Homo-oligomer: A and B are copies of this chain.
């Protein structure tokens, strides 16, 4: 399969490299790391196998890449504004676009620009970071859930799943990708949000405080209520399940906290803003999500000089 990786950060480089190693024609769109990767290659440290890839097919523009079978979007949603100009050279009549971005609204955004029939959504469950230009550290996990952005699985989606599986990446077909997003938000909305709003708190910090743990649970229930009203029912039993699962994470820093501490953009609108808007449109009260979104909006905006 001919694949273009748009957004060659940790996620894009890791999955792209695995797909390349499995024999796919993978081409990477790169900006800041392009010169380093061309001269020194791409290095991946991973429990699934280290790799040092020389002569990586890395490009500065999508025009040099040209049309592909699959566009793999691994850019942060805060950079979505760049996509309408970046993606068109990659599109042939049957090109599919898979976005592995967090939160809600990314599939709809891409569909509005490139046609909804092209779009698949996905979620990566992976602990990974770019530690230096051209250097990716993969700490663990790595599975993907993907599916059509609208509607159940298709042969096209099954074929992409098979391509990932052939590259030794755990991958599962989603029959309702929107449900999968809401299901992941049950954890991300409270933990990623409160980790910033409560003053750089780890998962352990949040659960050690009885009043904050209670807010974690209440935020989960708000997300579940909103998802249910939007016809993506999630059972409330996931709340104790998610709490139990989180209690063994220790002083884990949610990805949004890591971004925040590094001064990088936080995906406030995809993770909190769009779920909030959808809940309000459905007539659902989500007061804690509303307050958390407002606080994050300000906390993640660099202060203006006054």
Q: Which of A196-228 contact B (CB under 8 A)?
A: 197-199, 201, 205, 209, 211-212, 214-215, 218
Distance between Cα atoms of A199 and B287 in the complex (Å):
20
| Closest B residue, CB atoms, query A197 | B295
Asked if B212 and A294 sit within 8 Å, CB to CB, the answer is: yes
Partner of A199, one of B201, B214, B292, B298: B298
Distance between Cα atoms of A209 and B291 in the complex (Å):
12
Asked, given contacts A197-B197, A199-B299, A299-B198, whether A291 binds B294 with beta carbons under 8 Å apart, the answer is no
Asked if B293 and A291 sit within 8 Å, CB to CB, the answer is: no
Distance between Cα atoms of A295 and B209 in the complex (Å):
10
Q: Return chain B residues, CB-CB under 8 Å to A299.
A: 198-199
Partner of A294, one of B214, B293, B294, B297: B214
Distance between Cα atoms of A103 and B299 in the complex (Å):
27
Q: Return chain B residues, CB-CB under 8 Å to A232.
A: none
**A251 on interface, CB distance cutoff 8 Å:** yes
**A306 on interface, CB distance cutoff 8 Å:** yes
**A288 on interface, CB distance cutoff 8 Å:** yes
Q: Return chain B residues, CB-CB under 8 Å to A246.
A: none
Q: Return chain B residues, CB-CB under 8 Å to A292.
A: 291
**A290 on interface, CB distance cutoff 8 Å:** yes
Return A133 CB to nearest CB of chain B, in Å.
31
Partner of A212, one of B197, B209, B251, B297: B297
Q: What is the total number of copies of this protein in its complex?
A: 2
Asked if A306 and B211 sit within 8 Å, CB to CB, the answer is: no
Query: Which residues of A are interface residues toward B (Cβ below 8 A)?
Result: 194, 197-199, 201, 205, 209, 211-212, 214-215, 218, 251, 287-288, 290-295, 297-299, 303, 306
| Closest B residue, CB atoms, query A212 | B294
| Closest B residue, CB atoms, query A205 | B298
Distance between Cα atoms of A209 and B297 in the complex (Å):
9
Asked, given contacts A251-B306, A306-B251, whether A201 binds B291 with beta carbons under 8 Å apart, the answer is no
Return A282 CB to nearest CB of chain B, in Å.
18
Partner of A298, one of B209, B288, B297, B303: B209
Asked, given contacts A197-B197, A299-B199, whether A211 binds B287 with beta carbons under 8 Å apart, the answer is no
Return A214 CB to nearest CB of chain B, in Å.
7
| Closest B residue, CB atoms, query A209 | B298
| Closest B residue, CB atoms, query A202 | B306
**Nearest 9 Cβ contacts at the A-B interface:** A211-B294, A287-B287, A215-B294, A198-B298, A212-B294, A199-B299, A288-B291, A287-B288, A215-B291
Asked if B287 and A201 sit within 8 Å, CB to CB, the answer is: no
Return A299 CB to nearest CB of chain B, in Å.
5
